[in-house]
Amino acid sequence: MKLLVKGGTVIDPVAGKTMEKDILIVDGKITKTGVHLSAGGAEMLDASGKMVAPGLIDMHVHLREPGFEAKETIFSGTCSAARGGFTSVACMPNTSPVADNAAIISYIKNTAREKGAVNVYPIGAITRESKGDELAEMGDMKEAGAVAFSDDGMPVMNAGLMRRAMQYSRMLGLAIISHSEDKNISAGGAMHEGYMSTVLGLKGIPSSAEEVMVARDILLAEETGCRLHIAHVSTAGSVRLVREAKARGVKVTAEVTPHHFSLTDQTVAGYDTATKVNPPLRAAADVDAVKEGLADGTIDVIATDHAPHTVEEKDVEYDLAPFGMVGLETAVGLVWTELVAPGVLTPLQAVMKLTINPSMVLGISKGTLDAGSDADITIIDPAASWTVDPAQFAGKGRNTPFTGRLLTGMPYMTIVGGRVVMREGIV
Amino acid sequence: MGLSEKDLVGLQHVPAEEINQILDIATPMKEIIKRQIRKVPTLRGRTVVTVFYEASTRTRVSFELAAKYLSADTTGITAATSSMSKGESIRDTARTIAAMGADIVVLRHPMAGAAELLAHTIKASVINAGDGAHEHPSQALLDMFTVKEKKGRLKGLRIAIIGDILHSRVARSDIWGFHRMGAEVRLAGPATLLPPGVEKMGARVYTNLEEALEGADVINILRIQLERQNRGLFPGLREYSRLFGINKERLKLAAPDALVMHPGPMNRGVEIAPEVADGIQSIINEQVTNGVAVRMALLYLLTRGGSKHEITC
Q: Which amino acid is at B247?
A: N
- Cis before A66 (ω within 30): yes
For residue range B225-243, list pLDDT tens digits in order: 877 666 789 999 999 999 9
Cis peptide before B41 (omega within 30 of 0): no
With CA atoms as reference, report the closest residue to A198 among B176, B116, B104: B176
A-chain residues within 8 Å CB-CB of B134? 200-202
Asked whether residue B309 carries a pLDDT value surpassing 60, the answer given is no
- Asked if B112's CB is within 8 angstroms of A319's CB, the reply is yes
pTM above 0.90, yes or no: yes
Beta strand segments in chain B, E: 47-52, 73-78, 104-109, 125-131, 158-162, 184-188, 204-206, 218-221, 259-261
Name the pLDDT band for B191 (thresholds 50, 70, 90). Answer: very high
Q: What pLDDT does residue B307 have?
A: 38
- Please tell me the distance from the alpha carbon of residue A194 to that of residue B133, in angstroms, as a whole number: 14
The verdict on B85 touching A (C-beta cutoff 8 Å) is yes
CA–CA dist A174, B178 (Å, integer): 58
CATH classification number, A55-362, choose in 3.40.50.360, 1.10.10.350, 3.30.70.260, 3.20.20.140: 3.20.20.140
Distance of alpha carbon A358 from alpha carbon A338, whole angstroms? 20
Candidates B134, B187, B192, B230: best to mutate against A (most CBs of A within 10 A) is B134
Chain B residue with the nearest C-alpha to that of A319: B111
Q: So what's the pLDDT on residue B310?
A: 38
Give the pairing type, strands A377-387 and A51-54: antiparallel
DSSP A336: I
Distance CA A325, CA A224 (A): 34
Name the residue among A201, A203, A204 with its Cβ closest to that of B172: A201
d(CA A111, CA A78): 11
CB-based contact, A271 to chain B, within 8 Å: yes
pLDDT in tens, B128-146: 999 999 999 999 999 999 9
CB contact under 8 A, B132 and A201: yes
**What pLDDT is recorded for position A70?**
98
How many other CB atoms are found less than 10 A from the CB of residue B229? 15
Name the 3-class secondary structure at A196: helix
Closest CA to B220 of B187, B195, B177: B187
Q: B203 Cβ partners below 8 Å, 6+ apart?
A: B161, B175, B179, B185, B186, B187
Q: How far apart are CA A314 and CA A332, in angstroms?
A: 25
Q: How would you classify residue B273: left for phi > 0, otherwise alpha for psi between -120 and 50, otherwise beta?
A: beta
Tell me how far apart the alpha carbons of residues A325 and A313 are, in angstroms, rounded to a whole number. Answer: 12
**What gap in Å lies between CA B95 and CA B99, rounded to an integer?**
6
Q: What chain A residue is nearest to B131 in terms of C-alpha separation?
A: A201
Please, which residues have CB within 8 angstroms of residue A365's CB and are 6 or more apart in sequence? A359, A373, A374
**B113 vs A317: CB contact, 8 Å cut-off?**
yes
**Distance of residue B313 Cα from the nearest chain A Cα, in angstroms:** 37
Domain boundaries, chain A: 2-51+374-423, 55-362
Q: Using the beta-carbon criterion (under 8 Å), do A319 and B169 form an inter-chain contact?
A: no
The Cα A91–Cα B222 span in angstroms is: 48
- List the single best residue of B83, B90, B117, B187 to mutate versus A (max A Cβ within 10 A): B117
Per-residue pLDDT reduced to its tens digit, B76-111? 888 765 445 557 788 888 888 888 889 999 999 999
Of A184, A200, A275, which to mutate for an interface test with B (greatest number of B Cβ within 10 Å)?
A200
CA A201 centroid distance within chain: 31
CA-based nearest distance B182→chain A, Å: 19
Residues of chain B above pLDDT 90, percent:
81
**H or E segment and range at residue A4:** strand A2-12
Confirm or reject contact between B136 and chain A (CB < 8 A): no
Measured between alpha carbons, how far is A57 from B166 in angstroms, rounded to an integer? 43
Mean pLDDT by 10 residues, chain A (427 residues): 95 95 96 89 94 98 98 98 98 98 98 98 98 97 98 96 98 98 96 98 98 98 98 98 98 98 98 98 98 98 98 96 98 98 98 98 96 97 98 98 98 98 95
pLDDT for A1 equals 81
Instruction: Assign B193 to helix, strand or coil.
Output: helix
pLDDT at residue B84, as a whole number: 52
Q: Which residues pair with A423 in a beta bridge?
A: A413, A426
SS3 B231: coil
Tell me, what amino acid is at B109? H
Out of A248-262, B202-216, B293-307, least confident range:
B293-307
- Calculate the CA A1 to chain-centre distance: 31
Rounded mean pLDDT of B17-29? Answer: 97
* Residues A9/A20, Cβ–Cβ less than 8 Å: yes
Interface membership of A317 toward B (CB under 8 Å): yes
State which residue of chain B sits closest to A195, comparing Cα positions.
B197
Cβ neighbour number for residue A226 with a 10 Å cutoff: 27
Choice among A182, A305, A376, A381 that is catalytic: A305
Is residue B245 scored above 70 in pLDDT? yes
Alpha carbon B226 to its chain centroid, in Å, reads 20
User: For B134, how many CA atoms within 13 A lie in the half-sphere containing its CB?
Assistant: 29
Query: Between B165 and B3, whose confidence is greater?
Result: B165
CB contact set of B284 (below 8 Å; sequence gap of 6+): B260, B261, B262, B264, B266, B277
* Contact assignment for A198 to B197 by CB distance below 8 Å: yes
Q: Looking at domain A2-51+374-423, which CATH architecture does it have? A: Roll (2.30)
User: Given an 8 Å threshold on Cβ–Cβ distance, is A318 in contact with B12?
Assistant: no
